[in-house]
Structure 1
Amino acid sequence: MIEYVKTILLKVSFDKKLFEKELRKGLNMLTPHEVQDFKTWCYKTFSKIYLGVLNKYFVKLA
């Protein structure tokens, strides 16, 4: 499931609203273990563009 969510985020990363929507949906589909790996990947891949969005969703999980 994690690979599916990554693929979707890569495809919608051009639009902030879509990115945020799909990030939220993706987090609901993943197990807690997958979320840790997913968080690392998200920050590595999108922190230059969507750091605020990532912090909004991943700070809650810390």
Structure 2
Amino acid sequence: MPRMIYDYTKSILERVSFAPDLFVKELKKAVRNLLPHEMDHLRNWLSYYTKEKPELQEYLFIVERN
């Protein structure tokens, strides 16, 4: 089940990546809902995913501090 939540979170973040304000909102939800090891996976994925999206890179601090 936890893997499903992680995958769902990734899909939501991909879908809302066109709007930074929605992206931040969903990223904050992810921080509240994911387990610590899932957060590690999410940090790695976000690092890769945002390489092509510099407008989203400034919001990675949300997952870095947790």
TM-score (norm 2): 0.82
In the alignment of these two chains, the number of paired residues is 60
Q: How does 1:31-42 map to 2 (within 5 A)?
A: 31-42=35-46
Amino acid at match of 1:60: R
How many Å apart are 1:44 and its aligned residue?
A: 0.5
Structure 1 runs of 4+ aligned residues shifted over 3 Å read none
Percent identity, aligned pairs only, is 33
Gaps in structure 1 of 5+ consecutive residues: none
Amino acid at match of 2:24: E
SS state of the match for residue 58, structure 2?
Answer: helix
Worse-matched range after superposition: 2-11 or 40-49? 40-49
Partner residue of 2:22 out of 18, 24, 34:
18
Partner residue of 1:51 out of 38, 47, 57:
57
Structure with the larger RCO, 1 or 2 (CA within 8 Å, 6+ apart): 2
TM-score (norm 1): 0.87
Gaps in structure 2 of 5+ consecutive residues: none
